[in-house]
Amino acid sequence: MPHPDAPSLVLPPPPAAGRVWVAFSGGLDSTVLLHRLAQDPAVRRQGLHAIHVHHGLQPDAEAWAAHCEAQCLSLEVPLQVHRMRVDMAAGDGVEAAARRARHAAFKEAMQAGDIIALAHHRDDQAETFLLRALRASGPEGLAAMRPCRAFGTGWLWRPLLDTPRSTLESYARAASLSWIEDPSNAGTAFDRNFLRHEVLPLLRARWPHADAALARSAALNADAAGLLARQDRDLLARAATADPAALQVEALRDAGAAARARALRHWIDGLSLPPLPAEGVVRIDAHLLDARADAHAEFAWHGAVVRRWRGLLHAERRRPALPADWQVDWDGAAPLALPDGGIVSLEDQGAPFDVPLRLTARRGGERIALPGRAHRHALKDVLQSLGIPPWERRQLPLLWRGDALWAAGDLVLSADCDAWLRTAGRRLTWRRG
């Protein structure tokens, strides 16, 4: 138990009623957090656990894991040790790669509603704010770390975010706690360590309240980011269509440039596409929003593309057209993989094709006999009337029975195809790559 003179460390309540997992490195901060939560009967009742991620990046990693096991045993807190491989392939540095490994371990341990408790404190928040400012971040970035946010199937919780590190040190000494000192924290090669050892001590010497002021600025930016996020949602709601990947140009044009830029980035992020660069916002404003109604203007970046067509902006991952000379025979017995990653298949049980079909890419000039029509129609006109965008038409596989066009993907069925599917009790499907 802590000494009577130790800081009280009053913590906010957990954000949910699930199990609480302390991310336990064995360092000072997480040691204090684990010890403090272990003294809380309510958290104990929820189910208090610890998780230690063994990165294998330090020579003493095995000894650190053993230290964590001993500490958890003394506190009667169950511990999971996750040995993770740190994947450096992304090329964004060892700190980011190790963080990804930790987060993967957390998600592996969690069940629905569980809480991962992290020991970030006010000094960490000040460092994060400065790092984000030096990267020219906007309000979302300058909000730095949030006290609580959704994560995996539950929550990330930072109950010490308003607590100075000096308070944690006082608590640890009064409680006679032992902890690990990570030697990598002493160097200044990493940006965060440079701020911690070189920059922030200078700031504190001139402005003793520097950490509190920087943390307060982060909180104010979090408030501003929340207001802006609501504005983004309102604009996207006005521009929305039945397709989440399409927005109405007119509604976007009516908004101010700054609000439009934020909404476009929010939209792209919601589609799980690569972040829209600043150049993309400029290009969309200059070339897509004011393009002619019949224009096929677009902006592409990192495998994604935004296109304007018929008064809408469409966003998606860039997909290749089918090769012009591609063709293959298909008997319908199994799904057919297309060169662009798409799939054509016959769903439901029923009769197979009596004669194999031939599949090709579009080459222009095709005509199709539609159900209930006396004459054949140009496929181009049919696709236009259905509102199929030009880029989707380039990916559309054509199915032929002899010399007659039987179907264009599952978008246009000939009279013969429609009748055969009904009789056979089958359904033709085309899934884009």
Give the residue from 137, 125, 138 showing the smallest Cα distance to 218: 125
Query: What pLDDT does residue 158 have?
Result: 98
Q: Is residue 280 part of a domain?
A: yes
| pTM, entire model | 0.73
Q: Is residue 12 part of a domain?
A: no
Alpha helix positions (H), 271-361: 278-283
- Quick one: 169 and 95 in the same domain? yes
- Quick one: 87 and 117 in the same domain? yes
Q: Is 376 exposed, middle or buried (0-12, 13-18, 19+ CB in 10 A)?
A: middle
- Quick one: 331 and 310 in the same domain? no
118 is in an annotated binding site: no
Give the residue from 161, 165, 68, 50 showing the smallest Cα distance to 115: 50
- Quick one: 198 and 76 in the same domain? yes
- Quick one: 205 and 259 in the same domain? no
28 is in an annotated binding site: yes
Query: What pLDDT does residue 7 have?
Result: 67
Q: Is residue 403 part of a domain?
A: yes
Q: How far is CA 115 from the centre of its chain?
A: 19
Give the residue from 118, 108, 111 showing the smallest Cα distance to 47: 111
92 is in an annotated binding site: no
Domain holding 417, by residue range, is: 327-431
Q: Tokens 């095709």 map to which residue?
A: 366
When divided into structural domains, the chain yields a total of 3
- Quick one: 332 and 244 in the same domain? no
Q: Tokens 């913590």 map to which residue?
A: 11
425 is in an annotated binding site: no
How, if at all, do strands 20-23 and 48-54 pair?
parallel
Q: What's the token pair of residue 360?
A: 């090709």
Give the residue from 50, 52, 43, 35 showing the smallest Cα distance to 15: 43
Query: What are 21's strand-pairing partners?
Result: 49, 116
170 is in an annotated binding site: no
- Quick one: 352 and 399 in the same domain? yes
- Structural domain ending residue among the three candidates 185, 218, 251: 218
- Quick one: 289 and 357 in the same domain? no
Scored b (16 or more CB within 10 A) or e, 215-247 reads: bbbbbebbeebeebeebbeebbeebeeeeebbb
- Which stretches does DSSP call E strand in 240-397? 246-248, 298-301, 304-309, 312-317, 327-330, 336-337, 343-347, 357-360, 367-369, 376-378
- Quick one: 157 and 91 in the same domain? yes
Q: What's the token pair of residue 188?
A: 């200044």
- Quick one: 255 and 156 in the same domain? no
Q: What's the token pair of residue 220?
A: 């104010």
9 is in an annotated binding site: no
- Quick one: 198 and 244 in the same domain? no
Walk along the chain (433 residues) and give the pLDDT tens digit of each residue: 555 666 679 999 999 999 999 999 999 999 999 999 999 999 999 999 999 998 877 788 899 999 999 999 999 999 999 987 877 676 667 777 888 889 999 999 999 999 999 999 999 999 999 999 999 999 999 999 999 999 999 999 999 999 999 999 999 999 999 999 888 787 888 889 999 999 999 999 999 999 999 999 999 999 999 999 999 999 999 999 999 999 999 999 999 899 999 999 999 999 999 999 989 999 999 899 987 765 678 999 999 999 999 899 999 999 888 999 999 999 998 999 999 899 999 988 777 788 889 999 999 999 999 998 888 999 999 999 998 998 999 999 999 999 999 999 999 999 999 999 999 889 999 998 7
Alpha helix positions (H), 27-159: 28-38, 41-46, 61-75, 94-109, 122-134, 139-142
Q: Is residue 212 part of a domain?
A: yes
- Quick one: 99 and 117 in the same domain? yes
